[in-house]
Structure 1
Amino acid sequence: MKIKSLFIFLIGTCFLNLFSIHATNHPFHGLRFEKLPTVWDEGIPLGNGIMGSLIWEKDGKLRLALDRADLWDLRPVKEFESPSYSYRFICDEVRRGDLSNVYALIDDRTRKDCAPTKIPVGAIEIPVSQLGEVESVELDVHTAVCTIIWKCGAVGKFFTSATDKVGHFRLENLPEIPSVKLQAPRFEEDGTDTENTAAPGTNSLTRLGYKNGKITCRDNRIVYRQKAHGKVAYEVSVQWDTPASGTLEGCYYITTQGTWYSDPVQASDFMKSYTKDFNTSLAEHTEWWKMYWEKSKLHLPDYTLENQWYLEMYKFGAASRKDAPPICLQAVWTADNGQTPPWRGDFHNDLNTQLSYWPGYSSNHLEESSVFTDWLWKIKDNGEKFTRQFFGVEGLNIPCIATLEGKAIGGWNQYSHQPTTNGWLVHHFYLQWKYSADKHFLKEQAYPWVKEAARYMDNISVKDAKGVRNLPLSSSPEINDNRLNAWFERTTNYDLANIRLTYMAATEMADSLGLKEDAAHWRRQLEEWPDFAKDSTGLTIAPDYPLTVSHRHLSHMLAFHPFGLLDVSQGKETERLIKRSIHHMEELGSAHWCGYTYSWLANMQARVFDGDAAARSLHIFIKAFCSPNSFHLNGDQLKKGYSSLTYRPFTLEGNFACASAIQEMLLQSHTGTIRVFPAIPESWNEASFQDLRAMGAFLVSADYKNGKIHKVTVRSERGGKLKIQNPFTNKIEERNTMAGEIIEWDSK
């Protein structure tokens, strides 16, 4: 075993040569079909964070279903202006034993009202039936280009530019030039039927009350303008040309008005001066994606998992970009079926937004992951207003189910108005700081945000006669649905995990900033809260309330994963508690699990170093709960008993939890100690990864060959203390590093 320490300042090329994965020699990663998808949620996804499209075929036409991330109906919720709208009101009604008034105020309105909601843009249609049969459809995630080849020799290429927000298409070898049309969403009734789906929380677009927008066609240009609710409007501009015989080349642009992310120049004006041709834009686009994939790579002997990781991280790069909103339920791929998206396409902060950003940190995509904390910072003022209005205290607790502007939407009262939502959001400020070691971010955003979340928990909690703090009323997503017994008089493990995580993060951040009085206060507050409730089954939902039925949401185990407040490294007793909790959940069966349950479980299994179980859970997720284009459809699509839920509402959090689990199998650092290949299946004889990121801003690369770790390389990005389990001696080693220092361990 040899250890080398190097200083390399021309790191780009030199460092890559230390590792065995080469971008130019990768296997195919992406999607390959023999025909075009004929269902919108199986379409080929393209995106650049602010704009997305799904490529599929409908009625003999190639369809590019368009979306824009900030396109929302943001009408206010009138019911929430009621003087009864408060946490105290819910507490009183629960103790009265009747939630009917609460349902009328909070829950029922989401069944009656179709907004606020995410809304679709429309679709570009190109007739292709005259081209005959399709030979192949391919999405190469390394270039983010979709290629369609017809048996007649025609070829189509499509991409959504990563650099200038313009979508491009080119069809070559055409027997004749087809028409290009734009189909607007049908906002007014015209006597035709809307596609009927069983997805929850959906409504016909005609219920929004808009007048149909105006489509203007002139020469080879289409402009569509649509007014939404209030100040929100959007515009689509499509233009095309025939630069050569048998070739159709076009581009499109989408802009909004009236949102935080709206452009100063509208689509039609922008496109008038847009002269970039297809090849020039394609070269810029593929260069961006080349740099994206240079951030991290991996190779696994299990191609299914390897390809799925690349698909998930492709979607991550396509859906989360600076100066755009974060990933909502469907990101930039809103429903193309005449309806609002499942669950309004909103920001669910009791699981969905959080899981969506899990893989960003250790995959070394901190710029993309910072989009989430950027948005949380942007909605801070609205969150504080909501906290004062609804909870009646100062501090910060973001609505659990929120609009683009972070305002409450409603839904099941126990979760849409959850009393500790912010704890799980605090975790993402903590992760962004710990993985980046960015002291400026810590001082200017992370700690100020976390401090207000902790201050809220000071103010909302009450002490009993023994000086122990509790919440006036507690819940645990989504235990007992929205029934009366979904509210708990004693603080649940879910709420307690959020609270304890918030105080822990606030303490550590204050210490790092030298704020001794703040840190001492947060420590005292933390000591006043009870320990986690447990019994012979493991972690319970609440004191004296064990999990007794199959359930999709692993909320009672939040302290273990993702928070790491409980970890197997803390000794045999804690290890037994964690493993008992996982076993009990599995023992109750998967009848009421969703796809994301399996991918979240795989993260937990990796945390207890059970690589075989983690891989098994991920394979079930991929084969049973994902559509052919890799989208997570929540229900068991195989109908083979993996869940009694067999519906298919598309949401993305399960996908990103899948990528996170694969990364957890390869690298862990949540305890402060770096471990390489901690949870790989016993059957794997080889694997490798490049530049996965560990807490402390360390970039780690490793090779596993012939069933053994062969080589580990760590680069210290910012300097600081490195703590790593030496893979050759299994001993924990600590050393101080300098920025740019590279340390190698190998088996020689």
Structure 2
Amino acid sequence: MNNKVPSCILFLLLLGSMAYAQPTRQHNLHFSTLAKTWDEGIPLGNGMLGALIWQKEGKLRFSLDRADLWDLRPMKGLDRPEFRYRWVDEQARKKDYGIVQEYFDAPYEEQPAPCKIPGGALEFDTNGWGPATDVELDIKTAVCQVKWQNGVTLKTFVHATQPVGWFRFEHIGANFVPQLQAPKYAGNKQQAAGGSVDGDDLARLGYKQGTVNGNGQTIIYRQEGWGGFQYEIAVTWKRTATNTVKGTWSISSHYPGTAASIPATTVVKQTIAHTYANDYTQHKDWWQHYWQQSAIQLPDSLIEKQWYLEQYKFGSAARSNTPVITLQAVWTADNGRLPPWKGDVHNDLNTQLSYWPAYSANHLEEASSYTNWLGKTKAISKKYTQQYFESPGINVPGVQTMDGQPMGGWIQYSCSPTVSAWLSQHFYWQWKYSMDSSFLRKQAWPWVKETAQFLEKVTQKNAAGQRQLPISSSPEMNDNDISAWFRQNTNYDLSLMKYAFTVAADMAHSLSLPQEEAHWRSILAELPPLAVSGNQELMVTPAMAYTHSHRHFSHMMSIYPLGLIRWENGPADQAIIRNSIHLLDSIGPSAWCGYSYAWLANMKARAHDGEGAANALRIFAKAFCLPNSFHANGDQTKSGYSGFTYRPFTLEGNFAFASGVQEMLLQSYAGYIHLFPAVPDSWKSLAFEKLRTEGAFLVSARRSGRQTTEVEIVAEKGGKATLLLPFKTWIAAKEKGVKSKKVKDGWMEITFEKGGSILLKNGYE
């Protein structure tokens, strides 16, 4: 109902409209000393280049990295004729599984490569400067500033759009000669393998040690890797005043038969001719635009700060034209070893979780790095699909190199038949959140269609006429044992197949392809129902309940992220969601990792459990993150939040955390806009700006005294939005390009022109 409000009240309401916000200093990383280990360094990056700023053995150190520095030698054993899904099935049936592990799993642990490799490091002798007294990362500008006791000041950044890093020292003495430190590739090649968590010694790669050469105020390091791969690091500097030095660094790479990047020596020489101020302005402008895309204001300072730090890291790790976010992105280990789990492309959950927050946080351009990379490596994935599954269509290795080649490992998951089905969700989200018809037609639909074609081909009908996989698994239930294979569809595989066929039908409908739509709906109907216990709890398989703590909530995929089981569907689905989460909580977190808590927060938000979601996020932030906000997998507080207390750094937990916050504030997956669906009662006042929903709507909203006070919706592409009205009485304080509004039973259906907007404010009776 539309109520009239006195003009003075209306004026005050309008003053409270959405205000543009960016991160403030309270969101920054701020320390009184430099970190003493690489994984606690200050992170800088632009999707291709990265740096960590820390102190090693009394020297200031920049650990330098580039996303495409890889040893791409083929994983041993994957060229065997036995590398077939059918052959693995046969060995599992014969209970002769040791040979499968020997051929296709063991090499991942035994061989140092293929793997991500580090770049090198810049070191600066700070002897005589005294200790560092102030270290700050300004996430608003992506600049790290360090101050020393004697007055020396450093400002450094990785340029947001160019392949170069800058540093500027002020109040510095006459002696200034940085050192370029090469990774120690030379050494004993027979070093014992460190394992996938600790990483092998770099010497096991067998490289001839590269050379470091100085030429005046320029230093160049060149390193040759496997198969003719080469990379180059260059640094140059000059004194611009009696007490000021500016410098630049870059890394370039070259693979035989491919176009080389611009040599690092050329980049630094061209860049040093610029003014620091000019490049800084370009850099700052990019970040200002990035931060304008969305913002939040929460009464919980821990969760709010962590969210901003996750958005910062995402902006540092992704660009539309850079490789996919790997386990550590552009912050490869600088400890003389290979990174945890080889720093590879893990489609077990790591890549998928890393992009969860991008869509509703309104960072679609950065999110496109994932779908663009999948498109670039599609031909290799199709070749793998034909080789391993002997099937047309497309599936993707669960563990990949940068160029898309399979790497083996626990083969149930590294060669899972439903990897592409999960990846299809990112094509679907990129389309639904953008409503980009060209993307749908040229990229999303071909990918999803070929995924569905593969799944149709690889499944078989049982005696009951239901489709099932020959053998199925559920990451990472029973780890790498033969018992990790199941003869019934796991809920993990089944949920993903249901999702893939559903999305294929949805896309076909949008493209006016009725025969395609009908076909995929008929295939969908042949899948059995999800396995649910008598207590209405999701099971691992129809014969296996969830009975012990496990880090990967693979059996609950249908709740989140797939949304096949929805709170909005009513009591039956609500019971499954409520009971499945209760079972998860009651069995406990002894085998959870940090990302488990971040994932749990997303599920609890879908269950409209604001207190539960917020609690999971708080535990993640305080117990599973290093001081620089990096997710360290294990419980760093040793407070019983997990039996894992180790600290391998990976990024997926960080980004899933941000997604969990956004799910608490706004949901649209059920076909309508739901404001503050999972906000704790203790959060009396909060706001968000320009979060994105499906349908390409940008939404801003404010809440005060536990009541929503206003909501603004901007229709980027036009179209129809359905809003669950968050207040009983309201006024349309501002409208532009609104064709119609229909209000009924607490819902508002708004039809917009392209670029149209509406501002609704809480009225009173």
- Normalised to the residue count of structure 2, the TM-score between the two structures is 0.94
Matched to 1:450, the amino acid is: V
Aligned equivalent of 1:302: 300
Residues in 1 aligned to 2:695 and 2:687: alpha-carbon distance in whole angstroms? 21
Aligned equivalent of 2:699: 700
Residues in 2 aligned to 1:546 and 1:175: alpha-carbon distance in whole angstroms? 68
- Of 250, 267, 274 in structure 1, the residue corresponding to residue 247 of structure 2 is 250
Partner SS for 2:581: helix
Q: Show structure 1 runs of 5+ residues with no match.
A: 5-15
Residues in 1 aligned to 2:261 and 2:593: alpha-carbon distance in whole angstroms? 41
Question: Relative to 1, partners in 2 of residues 1:24 and 1:546: Cα closer, same or farther, differing over 3 Å?
Answer: closer
Matched-pair contact (CA < 8 Å) for 1:199–1:648? no
Aligned equivalent of 2:126: 128
Aligned equivalent of 1:566: 565
Residues in 1 aligned to 2:259 and 2:417: alpha-carbon distance in whole angstroms? 32
**Which residues in structure 2 correspond to 1:71-86 (within 5 Å)?**
71-86=69-84
Question: Relative to 1, partners in 2 of residues 1:500 and 1:190: Cα closer, same or farther, differing over 3 Å?
Answer: closer
Matched-pair contact (CA < 8 Å) for 1:221–1:238? yes
- Asked if 1:639 corresponds to 2:654, the answer is no
Aligned equivalent of 1:542: 541
Shift of 1:77: 2.2
**Which residues in structure 2 correspond to 1:406-421 (within 5 Å)?**
406-421=404-419
Aligned equivalent of 1:228: 225
Question: Relative to 1, partners in 2 of residues 1:191 and 1:488: Cα closer, same or farther, differing over 3 Å?
Answer: closer
**Which residues in structure 2 correspond to 1:43-442 (within 5 Å)?**
43-189=41-187, 200=197, 202-258=199-255, 263-274=260-271, 275-442=273-440
Matched-pair contact (CA < 8 Å) for 2:549–2:591? yes
Matched to 1:394, the amino acid is: P
Matched to 1:565, the amino acid is: L
Matched-pair contact (CA < 8 Å) for 1:157–1:171? yes
Matched-pair contact (CA < 8 Å) for 1:300–1:306? yes
Matched-pair contact (CA < 8 Å) for 2:20–2:689? no
Shift of 1:738: 1.1
Residues in 2 aligned to 1:32 and 1:531: alpha-carbon distance in whole angstroms? 51
Shift of 1:227: 0.7
- Asked if 1:746 corresponds to 2:746, the answer is no
Residues in 2 aligned to 1:666 and 1:594: alpha-carbon distance in whole angstroms? 24
Residues in 2 aligned to 1:265 and 1:735: alpha-carbon distance in whole angstroms? 50
Residues in 2 aligned to 1:123 and 1:374: alpha-carbon distance in whole angstroms? 30
Residues in 1 aligned to 2:254 and 2:513: alpha-carbon distance in whole angstroms? 43
Residues in 1 aligned to 2:190 and 2:499: alpha-carbon distance in whole angstroms? 52
Shift of 1:734: 1.8
What do residues 351-410 of structure 1 show as CA deviations (whole Å, max 9, x unaligned)? 000000000000000000111000111111111100000011111110000111111101
RMSD: 1.9
Residues in 1 aligned to 2:259 and 2:663: alpha-carbon distance in whole angstroms? 37
Residues in 1 aligned to 2:589 and 2:573: alpha-carbon distance in whole angstroms? 25
Shift of 1:20: 3.7
Matched to 1:212, the amino acid is: Q
Residues in 1 aligned to 2:130 and 2:523: alpha-carbon distance in whole angstroms? 69
Residues in 1 aligned to 2:194 and 2:706: alpha-carbon distance in whole angstroms? 48
What do residues 409-431 of structure 1 show as CA deviations (whole Å, max 9, x unaligned)? 01111111111111110010000
Aligned equivalent of 1:7: none
Matched to 1:545, the amino acid is: M
- Asked if 1:555 corresponds to 2:570, the answer is no
Matched-pair contact (CA < 8 Å) for 1:45–1:54? yes
The percentage of counterpart residues that share the same residue type is 46
Question: Relative to 1, partners in 2 of residues 1:382 and 1:17: Cα closer, same or farther, differing over 3 Å?
Answer: farther
Shift of 1:315: 0.3
Shift of 1:202: 1.1
Shift of 1:284: 0.9
Shift of 1:22: 3.5
Question: Relative to 1, partners in 2 of residues 1:259 and 1:442: Cα closer, same or farther, differing over 3 Å?
Answer: farther
Matched to 1:393, the amino acid is: S
What do residues 299-318 of structure 1 show as CA deviations (whole Å, max 9, x unaligned)? 11111111111100000000
Matched to 1:240, the amino acid is: W
Matched-pair contact (CA < 8 Å) for 1:19–1:690? no
Matched to 1:598, the amino acid is: Y
Residues in 2 aligned to 1:94 and 1:3: alpha-carbon distance in whole angstroms? 69
Question: Relative to 1, partners in 2 of residues 1:57 and 1:199: Cα closer, same or farther, differing over 3 Å?
Answer: farther
Residues in 2 aligned to 1:197 and 1:473: alpha-carbon distance in whole angstroms? 32
Shift of 1:74: 0.5
Aligned equivalent of 2:10: none
Matched-pair contact (CA < 8 Å) for 1:120–1:340? yes
Partner SS for 1:630: coil
- Asked if 1:737 corresponds to 2:752, the answer is yes
Shift of 1:116: 0.5
Question: Relative to 1, partners in 2 of residues 1:151 and 1:676: Cα closer, same or farther, differing over 3 Å?
Answer: same
Partner SS for 2:228: coil
Residues in 2 aligned to 1:605 and 1:517: alpha-carbon distance in whole angstroms? 38
Aligned equivalent of 2:727: 728
Residues in 2 aligned to 1:692 and 1:3: alpha-carbon distance in whole angstroms? 28
Question: Relative to 1, partners in 2 of residues 1:375 and 1:705: Cα closer, same or farther, differing over 3 Å?
Answer: same
Partner SS for 1:189: coil
Question: Relative to 1, partners in 2 of residues 1:210 and 1:198: Cα closer, same or farther, differing over 3 Å?
Answer: closer
Residues in 1 aligned to 2:691 and 2:15: alpha-carbon distance in whole angstroms? 16
Matched to 1:79, the amino acid is: G
Residues in 1 aligned to 2:249 and 2:314: alpha-carbon distance in whole angstroms? 22
Matched-pair contact (CA < 8 Å) for 2:698–2:716? yes
- Asked if 1:28 corresponds to 2:26, the answer is yes
- Of 508, 512, 532 in structure 2, the residue corresponding to residue 510 of structure 1 is 508
Shift of 1:189: 1.0
Partner SS for 2:565: coil
Residues in 1 aligned to 2:597 and 2:377: alpha-carbon distance in whole angstroms? 31
Partner SS for 2:453: helix
Residues in 2 aligned to 1:500 and 1:276: alpha-carbon distance in whole angstroms? 55
More divergent stretch after superposition (18-27 vs 522-531): 18-27
Shift of 1:78: 3.5
Residues in 1 aligned to 2:544 and 2:448: alpha-carbon distance in whole angstroms? 30
Residues in 2 aligned to 1:257 and 1:18: alpha-carbon distance in whole angstroms? 54
What do residues 565-619 of structure 1 show as CA deviations (whole Å, max 9, x unaligned)? 1101111011011110001011111100000000100001111111111111111
Q: Show structure 2 runs of 5+ residues with no match.
A: 5-13, 729-744
Residues in 2 aligned to 1:668 and 1:578: alpha-carbon distance in whole angstroms? 16
Residues in 1 aligned to 2:219 and 2:15: alpha-carbon distance in whole angstroms? 49
Matched-pair contact (CA < 8 Å) for 1:48–1:161? yes
Residues in 2 aligned to 1:61 and 1:120: alpha-carbon distance in whole angstroms? 19
Aligned equivalent of 1:8: none
Question: Relative to 1, partners in 2 of residues 1:675 and 1:235: Cα closer, same or farther, differing over 3 Å?
Answer: same
Aligned equivalent of 1:465: 463
Shift of 1:269: 2.6
- Asked if 1:682 corresponds to 2:718, the answer is no
Shift of 1:53: 0.4
Aligned equivalent of 2:741: none
Question: Relative to 1, partners in 2 of residues 1:518 and 1:293: Cα closer, same or farther, differing over 3 Å?
Answer: same
Partner SS for 1:130: coil
Shift of 1:706: 2.0
Matched-pair contact (CA < 8 Å) for 1:255–1:262? no
**Which residues in structure 2 correspond to 1:611-630 (within 5 Å)?**
611-630=610-629
Partner SS for 2:580: helix
